[in-house]
Structure 1
Amino acid sequence: MKQVLLDLQSGDIQVEDVPVPLARRGLVVENRYSLISAGTETALINLAKKSLVGKAKDRPDDMKKVIQKVTTDGVLSAYQQAMSRLSKPEPLGYSCAGIVTETGVDDFAVGDRVACGGAGYAVHAEYVSVPKNLCVPVPEGVSLHEASFTTVGAIAMQGVRNAEVSLGETVAVIGLGLIGILTVQILKAAGARVFGIDIDPEKLALARELGADQTSNYDGLLEKLQVFSPFGADAVIITAATKSNAPIEAAGHLVRDRGRVVIVGNVGLDIPRDVFYEKEAEVVVSRSYGLGRYDRNYEERGIDYPIYVRWTERRNMEAFLELVREKKISLDRLITHEFALVEAPGAYAMIAGGKEKYLGVLLKYSSNGNGKSPAGNVAVMEKSPAKGEKKAVPGQNLGCIGAGVHALSSLYPHLPVLPISLRGLATATGLSAHWVAKKYGFDYCTTDYKKILEDPEIQAVLIATRNDMHAAMTAEALAAGKNVFVEKPLATTLDELRLVVDAVKQYDGSVTVGFNRRYSPLSRRMKAFFANRSSPMVIHYRVNAGEIPADHWVHDEEQGAGMLISECCHFIDYMQYMTGAKPVQVYARGIEPVGTVSKYDNFQAVLNFDDGSLGTVTYTTLGDRAYSKETVEVFSSGAVGRITDFRELRLMKGGKTEKERRWLSQDKGFLEELLAFARGEEPDFAGSVATTLATIRAWESIDSGRPLSIDTGSVGL
């Protein structure tokens, strides 16, 4: 299928062939129309066209993160990660309408006409995969080109709801672009008196035609409003898009005492305190389409709010379509341009050129399947002539599943140097699959990971999906006769761990877990330093992770299982590697939860090993990210070893100190672990099971408040 993509480095718009997505937790829709959001999408395109310095100035928060990354990881590592993010194309669009071709939920059936919303979901593509709470049925009497406005309509609807307008009140709307005109019509449907404001005479005229009672430019604005409403506007809704502070300043003068100003558009927000203070006016920033926005449970999982949470995203979308059905909102006059999908670059060029006036710009799609399930979730990649192409190990073809941030920044950059052929790549979205496959030279890409497992030419599989998928996919891959490299954690529950152990025994397969730190050159040197030790080890592994947002997927009980499960396994494995011993007991304590601070993100775990060694993991999100993230200290036989952020090594014995420092980048051993897997080196699967079990027991120890034994026999090993 074809999809519109933005090159984040150059700002170029491209239409590429990518695999068709799968339904997953929602439905697949064959698009008929999608609406270009000129404001939101143009802002992203303009940012992409800027230099690295320009991007940094526009995104100071992101730049701060890069600087912090430089401090801990080194200049080269930070640069590579930043460029990796920028090199990935961005999907455009968030409002579309079409026909359901595949469904994984009961709310919709194949053949239904639906309107879809959501950035990253309702994109400009021939087929889209959208969760059920971001889809609504299109009522009879509403065309699909009208329905493609639904998401933008929901944005306008939410702005009106935040204004808390009642029958007969006066509302000023500043900015009569697409959302502004929709806002005018919604207000009229709600029984309000509307005063429209813009600098464009044509938009003022259109607003009057579609219901505004009075319109004006900024000349004599206050006087005109006082004639219209002597006490001022009960509410002001700002739908303009400008960096200027003029709209918020004007709103302060227009609103009545104790009135409300609602900000829908992206405008300057230097609020003139004196004006708002004297009126005790309220300022509200409207959040997108409605309640549920940015809530993973609502948007991704499809868990709805009870009806007393009245106006969610989906209900706003439904209400907008009902107003269209009742002819209380007219959209035909708002459609100024229509382009075929393949002409999308020209549509954006027209918008950027500024020579033609526009409001609603639609992309139109040809009918491919008329509601039939789409084929084409596998795309064969075109091969470009390679210079000095490496020779692969005979019979070793690799299939990869997943292409998230970690895979793209730490694993996949090493694929070109591995002694293995890159056969197939599977990701959840066609965009990621196509881009990564093209970048690294895979033979094909797909949105169905089972295609990788069913491919008889693939002998080895790399699994880099989210945590909740690791165990089941590993078991499936083993059943398909593949050798497996799976990112940590191997499992998030005891049942998942037993599933993998049983699969290894049943199918006699090989499983390597992505515990990369043991492969770091600095780790190898420190282990050699203690090779002749005569006493047990005492190890302290301190991790200053910094604050992790509460809505990050790693905290999701289903997908991430928290930082303890997701991260602590690394450090327990590292202790196993250093001691050469297995953990036999763990005792863990977490802090008492305060606000959004989790006890599973701030804890200490003490581990006993079967050679008498003792290890402590200290993990916290309460520190300053500018401070070093990881420090491991090892004490044994009158010697001390310390590694800081895998950039600095200090070895001390007999009053003498050896030092090694990596100035440009850290080396956590990602290349070395992948090389070991590609070469078929025997993995320490029993050690990986013990690590995973110890991590799960640490979680249980925090809950129970007592030490717990670690017996791999309990999971069948």
Structure 2
Amino acid sequence: MATVVRLDAPGCVSIAEEPDPPLHATGVRLRTRYSGISAGTELTQYRGTNAHVVKTWDPDARLFVPGRPAVAYPVVVGYEEVGEVVEVGDEVTAVRPGQVVWGAWGHRSTTVVEEEYAAARVLDPAADPVLGIFSHIGSVALNVVLDADLHVGETAVVFGLGVVGQIVAQLARRNGARVIGVDTLPDRLALARDLGADVALDAGEGRIAEQVRAATSGRGADVALEVSGNPQALHEAVRSVAYNSRVVTAGFYQGEARGLFLGEEFHHNRVDLVCSQISGVAPGLAHRWDRRRLNTTVIDLAVRGRLSLRPLVSHVVPFTDAAWAYDLLDTHPERVTQVVLEFPAPDGCDHPRGAA
């Protein structure tokens, strides 16, 4: 049997068991070692605010329509996993037991994937296996930077310095941009500075757009990258950029966009507002970039030390503490960055609850 972390209803987390998938000839059985909790999509499912749990998604029309919700509780969530190969099918030759594989298969103790899937995602044996949990969330961040179309010497303002924002800030610097990070939480501002942000501004003190313009000779930022999911932050991002400049938004906004005034700077400064969402890449890049390339690029940068991801992990806890972990993310975001669930080895060893 596979042990899974399940959302039974909004705010209700349980540990359950499901039948372990059978191993077929080209299958690879993975034992999960670590699984990251997303503070974006997963929290909207935990809170019951995600559109998919209240509306029907019509994939042909690409519209949300009234009807039965697309996602019904109980649901197994999670898409930031890393595991060890423990068994392979009779026809498998490209991977072997003991190798570590990253990917997305949910908060579950074991799974079976195809040989091709596993072979394309084998982690360097010298790497910290926890890095594997960043393949998806790191891709979200990389996609934001690709959508931003940054250039050497430009100024980029990153609104929201959670996991995605911290990665966005690092990638923007690697693209040659001067990076200004914005958040309300002191620990996140300090972390951004430690990881290379040129300037970190406390949004709680206000006047962010004015400070950005003062730091750019009155011009404004060349691009703003909004990843907080806060409509007021989106409004300030619009205010922060120069005339005819771009705001890239990857924040997962819930409910109404209160605090966003489109008749002000957005209209008068001809701001280009771009949605960055992981289901696709910018049209001009689609012939060269896809999800796998985004994934592998992030992992490769992390393994080679060109992207610092391990400092983003604030907590590694036993998977049995999942309910506690979700509550922590939901009610005390100031105490946490990336929470990782650890699944025990066969001998039952477990990591103690607390900071990594």
- TM-score normalised by length of structure 2: 0.81
> What root-mean-square deviation, in Å, do the aligned CA atoms of Structure 1 and Structure 2 show?
3.1
How many Å apart are 1:349 and its aligned residue? 2.6
For 1:233, the aligned partner's letter is A
Indicate the residue corresponding to 1:91 in structure 2: 76
For 2:13, the aligned partner's letter is I
Check whether the contact 1:290–1:316 (CA below 8 A) recurs between aligned residues. Answer: no
The structure with the largest alpha-carbon Rg is: 1
> Superposed, which structure 2 residues align to 1:26-105 within 5 Å?
27-47=28-48, 59=54, 65-66=66-67, 86=72, 88-100=73-85, 101-102=87-88
Indicate the residue corresponding to 1:12 in structure 2: 12
How many Å apart are 1:241 and its aligned residue? 2.6
SS for the counterpart of 2:179 is strand
Check whether the contact 2:52–2:70 (CA below 8 A) recurs between aligned residues. Answer: no
How many Å apart are 1:232 and its aligned residue? 1.4
Counterpart-to-counterpart distance in 2, 1:352 and 1:261? 27
Indicate the residue corresponding to 2:269 in structure 1: 279
Indicate the residue corresponding to 1:159 in structure 2: 144
How many Å apart are 1:333 and its aligned residue? 2.0
Q: Quick one: structure 1 residues 340 and 28, their matched pair in 2 at CA, closer, same or farther if it must change by over 3 Å? A: same
Q: Quick one: structure 1 residues 358 and 162, their matched pair in 2 at CA, closer, same or farther if it must change by over 3 Å? A: same
Identical aligned residues as a percent: 26
Counterpart-to-counterpart distance in 2, 1:342 and 1:65? 36
SS for the counterpart of 1:329 is coil
Q: 1:145 aligns with which of 125, 130, 133?
A: 130
Q: Quick one: structure 1 residues 83 and 116, their matched pair in 2 at CA, closer, same or farther if it must change by over 3 Å? A: closer
How many Å apart are 1:34 and its aligned residue? 0.7
How many Å apart are 1:273 and its aligned residue? 4.2
Q: 1:249 aligns with which of 235, 239, 261?
A: 235
How many Å apart are 1:155 and its aligned residue? 0.7
Check whether the contact 1:136–1:314 (CA below 8 A) recurs between aligned residues. Answer: no
SS for the counterpart of 1:98 is strand
Q: 1:177 aligns with which of 159, 162, 169?
A: 162
For 2:144, the aligned partner's letter is G
How many Å apart are 1:227 and its aligned residue? 2.9
Indicate the residue corresponding to 1:112 in structure 2: 99
How many Å apart are 1:154 and its aligned residue? 0.8
Q: Quick one: structure 1 residues 191 and 356, their matched pair in 2 at CA, closer, same or farther if it must change by over 3 Å? A: closer
SS for the counterpart of 1:342 is helix
Q: Deviations over 1:483-536 (max 9, x none)?
A: xxxxxxxxxxxxxxxxxxxxxxxxxxxxxxxxxxxxxxxxxxxxxxxxxxxxxx
SS for the counterpart of 1:216 is strand
Check whether the contact 2:317–2:342 (CA below 8 A) recurs between aligned residues. Answer: yes
Check whether the contact 1:194–1:214 (CA below 8 A) recurs between aligned residues. Answer: yes
How many Å apart are 1:256 and its aligned residue? 1.6
For 1:4, the aligned partner's letter is V
Show structure 1 runs of 5+ residues with no match: 49-54, 67-81, 293-306, 370-717
SS for the counterpart of 1:162 is helix
Q: 1:220 aligns with which of 192, 207, 210?
A: 207
Indicate the residue corresponding to 2:353 in structure 1: none
Check if 1:238 corresponds to 2:226. Answer: yes
Q: Quick one: structure 1 residues 61 and 275, their matched pair in 2 at CA, closer, same or farther if it must change by over 3 Å? A: farther
SS for the counterpart of 2:40 is helix
Q: Quick one: structure 1 residues 179 and 106, their matched pair in 2 at CA, closer, same or farther if it must change by over 3 Å? A: farther
SS for the counterpart of 1:20 is coil
- TM-score normalised by length of structure 1: 0.42
Indicate the residue corresponding to 2:176 in structure 1: 191
Counterpart-to-counterpart distance in 2, 1:187 and 1:198? 17
Q: Quick one: structure 1 residues 26 and 178, their matched pair in 2 at CA, closer, same or farther if it must change by over 3 Å? A: farther
SS for the counterpart of 1:136 is coil
Counterpart-to-counterpart distance in 1, 2:151 and 2:312? 26
Runs of 4+ in 1 over 3 A off after TM superposition: 22-28, 55-66, 82-86, 101-111, 129-135, 268-271, 289-292
Counterpart-to-counterpart distance in 2, 1:197 and 1:342? 34
Check whether the contact 1:204–1:215 (CA below 8 A) recurs between aligned residues. Answer: yes
Show structure 2 runs of 5+ residues with no match: 58-63, 348-356
How many Å apart are 1:108 and its aligned residue? 4.3
For 1:19, the aligned partner's letter is P
How many Å apart are 1:192 and its aligned residue? 1.5
Counterpart-to-counterpart distance in 2, 1:166 and 1:260? 13
Q: Quick one: structure 1 residues 23 and 310, their matched pair in 2 at CA, closer, same or farther if it must change by over 3 Å? A: farther
Q: Quick one: structure 1 residues 353 and 140, their matched pair in 2 at CA, closer, same or farther if it must change by over 3 Å? A: same
Give the aligned length.
326
How many Å apart are 1:319 and its aligned residue? 0.8
Indicate the residue corresponding to 2:110 in structure 1: 127
Indicate the residue corresponding to 2:350 in structure 1: none
For 1:286, the aligned partner's letter is S
- Structure with greater contact order relative to length (CA < 8 Å, sep ≥ 6): 2
SS for the counterpart of 1:7 is strand
Indicate the residue corresponding to 2:331 in structure 1: 353
Q: Deviations over 1:40-85 (max 9, x none)?
A: 212111118xxxxxx999836679633xxxxxxxxxxxxxxx5997
Check whether the contact 2:81–2:106 (CA below 8 A) recurs between aligned residues. Answer: yes
Counterpart-to-counterpart distance in 1, 2:52 and 2:98? 47
How many Å apart are 1:106 and its aligned residue? 6.8
For 2:37, the aligned partner's letter is I
How many Å apart are 1:255 and its aligned residue? 1.3
